[in-house]
Amino acid sequence: MYEVFNNLIDQDSVVEVLKEAIESSKNDLDDSQGMTHAWLFTGPPGSGRSTAALSFAAALVCPNSGCDSCNHCRTALAGSHADVELVRSEGLTIKIDEVRELITRASWSPSVSNYRVVVIEDADRLTESAGNALLKAIEEPGLRTVWLLCAPTLSDVLPTIRSRTRNLTLRTPSTKAVSILLQRASIPAELADFSARASQGHIGRARRLALDEGARNRRTAILKLPTAITDIASAFKAAALLVDAAKKEAEIESDRRDDKEIHDLKEAWGQQGSKLSQGGSKAVKELEKEQKSRSTRMVRDYLDIALLDMVTFYRDVLLVQSDATDIADVIINMDLEYEIMKMSAITTAEQTLRKMDAIMRTRVNLSHNANPLIAVEALMVQLR
Ligand SMILES: [Zn+2]
């Protein structure tokens, strides 16, 4: 039992609480309140919020409390278990119609296990009306229904929902724990260490860096930008390069998903030949609109990752400038030691701090819908 919680990396205190909940869920007379019907998993991106929720779901439906090997566990983790409903939103928002259908399904009795579990991966994307509809279901839960919501932080969900759920906060896993995880997946130790360190505890990003050489090359190219910016012209060039890379990345991802989604949707509307009913055409138009805004968001997400990488570069520079001992232990981007040393020699710590601040401000501006190219150009000029 509880083996399924080994999928959670470096989250001992969360696992403790979940084990207690499983324990008391098995005993209907248990009044220790270990088990409740609505949970909210929060934690920084990459910390494993949805893994935690799905592992808990598996442990609730597994006859052996989460053995991680039976069919219940495997299908629950994949979101395909008959009594586990996984809401994985690709769109920007989760709408009220979607939530209403969900509530209906959630009220059914479990078919093969003791619980019916609903996992909502992006509870922060619930529209206000969807959130209010969900609130009603959470306030009057079915005896055997468990709601597991995930969101980056508490402030990302409606306060009313927050107050009705039990919150578990995941922490950023340590570099060492992430490296061990990658090595368990047969990634060589050196590459695992590098990827874990470069991604600063973001498990998904670490995995991507470890498995995708293209992602590693793009990261290196971005981290070399600061040393390439010497004047206004090179600053604009660097900005264009960064934004183009982000667009390219979003394009690759969109191409992979958009056509299939449209195809599936048309099929769902029973397309005959090329003739689509009025409702079907409207649905396709709506999907296309949503895909367009998703692609815009992907450009911003990618830029954000790139900017975070750049902050770690300047952080390394600052450490060298402040005469840190044992550089090898504290520097994140060891593969760019040459660039870091060079930059720390020709600039002052004060300048480095100002640059880090400029990057962080650009991230905020981008999250407030600033034009990406103009925001990045302004940044690069400041990084000269
Ligand atoms: Zn199992």
Question: Domain boundary residue among 149, 183, 211?
Answer: 211
Q: Which amino acid is at 198?
A: A
Residues 163 and 158: their CA atoms lie apart, in Å, by: 9
CA of 52 to the centre of ligand 1 (A): 15
One domain, residues 280 and 368: yes
Q: Which 8-state DSSP code applies to residue 31?
A: -
Per the CB < 8 A criterion, the answer to whether 303 and 242 are in contact is: yes
Assess if residue 53 is contained within a domain: yes
3 state SS of 151: strand
One domain, residues 105 and 57: yes
Assess if residue 102 is contained within a domain: yes
One domain, residues 165 and 16: yes
Output the pLDDT for position 31: 61
What residues pack around ion ligand 1 (CB closer than 5 A)? 62, 67, 70, 72-73
CA of 145 to the centre of ligand 1 (A): 19
Per the CB < 8 A criterion, the answer to whether 201 and 178 are in contact is: yes
The pLDDT of residue 32 is above 70: no
Residues 282 and 271: their CA atoms lie apart, in Å, by: 13
Output the pLDDT for position 253: 75
DSSP states along 55-86? HHHHHHH-TTS--SSSHHHHHHHHT--TTEEE
The pLDDT of residue 324 is above 80: no
How confident is residue 314, by pLDDT bands cut at 50, 70 and 90?
A: very high
CA of 319 to the centre of ligand 1 (A): 47
CA of 74 to the centre of ligand 1 (A): 7
CA of 20 to the centre of ligand 1 (A): 17
Assess if residue 59 is contained within a domain: yes
The pLDDT of residue 29 is above 70: no
Residues 330 and 347: their CA atoms lie apart, in Å, by: 20
CA of 1 to the centre of ligand 1 (A): 8
Assess if residue 222 is contained within a domain: no
Q: pLDDT higher for 189 or 139?
A: 189
Output the pLDDT for position 91: 66
By percentage, how much of the chain surpasses pLDDT 90?
58
One domain, residues 180 and 269: no
Question: Domain boundary residue among 151, 169, 187?
Answer: 169
Q: Tokens standing for 294?
A: 């998703």
CA of 69 to the centre of ligand 1 (A): 5
Assess if residue 218 is contained within a domain: no
CA of 172 to the centre of ligand 1 (A): 27
Assess if residue 323 is contained within a domain: yes
CA of 79 to the centre of ligand 1 (A): 14
User: What's the pLDDT tens digit per position in 227-246?
Assistant: 999 999 999 999 999 998 88
Using alpha carbons only, give the angle 245, 250, 256 rounded to the nearest 5 degrees: 130
One domain, residues 165 and 180: no
CA of 70 to the centre of ligand 1 (A): 4
CA of 39 to the centre of ligand 1 (A): 21
Per the CB < 8 A criterion, the answer to whether 250 and 302 are in contact is: yes
CA of 140 to the centre of ligand 1 (A): 29
CA of 280 to the centre of ligand 1 (A): 41
One domain, residues 199 and 324: no
Q: Which residues pair with 275 in a beta bridge?
A: 272
Radius of gyration of the chain (CA): 23
User: What's the pLDDT tens digit per position in 217-228?
Assistant: 889 999 999 999
Output the pLDDT for position 254: 81
One domain, residues 71 and 131: yes
One domain, residues 254 and 119: no
**Quick one: angle between helices 189-199 and 175-184, nearest 10?**
140
CA of 144 to the centre of ligand 1 (A): 19
Output the pLDDT for position 108: 87
Residues 62 and 88: their CA atoms lie apart, in Å, by: 22
CA of 51 to the centre of ligand 1 (A): 15
Q: Which 8-state DSSP code applies to residue 92?
A: S
Output the pLDDT for position 344: 94
Lowest-confidence segment of 100-104, 190-194, 327-331, 346-350 by average pLDDT = 327-331
One domain, residues 76 and 206: no
Q: What is the pTM of this model?
A: 0.76
Q: Tokens standing for 245?
A: 């890379």
The CATH number of whichever domain residue 31 belongs to comes to: 3.40.50.300
CA of 4 to the centre of ligand 1 (A): 8
Number of domain units in the chain: 3
Print the domain residue range for 38: 3-169
Other beta carbons less than 10 A from residue 374's beta carbon:
12
By percentage, how much of the chain surpasses pLDDT 70?
96
One domain, residues 164 and 181: no
CA of 335 to the centre of ligand 1 (A): 42
Assess if residue 206 is contained within a domain: yes
- The closest alpha carbon to 161, from 143, 139, 145, 141, belongs to 139
Q: Tokens standing for 219?
A: 């990261």
One domain, residues 85 and 141: yes
Per the CB < 8 A criterion, the answer to whether 127 and 94 are in contact is: yes
Assess if residue 217 is contained within a domain: no
Output the pLDDT for position 326: 79
CA of 220 to the centre of ligand 1 (A): 42
One domain, residues 206 and 159: no
Per the CB < 8 A criterion, the answer to whether 239 and 359 are in contact is: no
- The closest alpha carbon to 5, from 57, 72, 61, 78, belongs to 57
Q: Which 8-state DSSP code applies to residue 156?
A: G
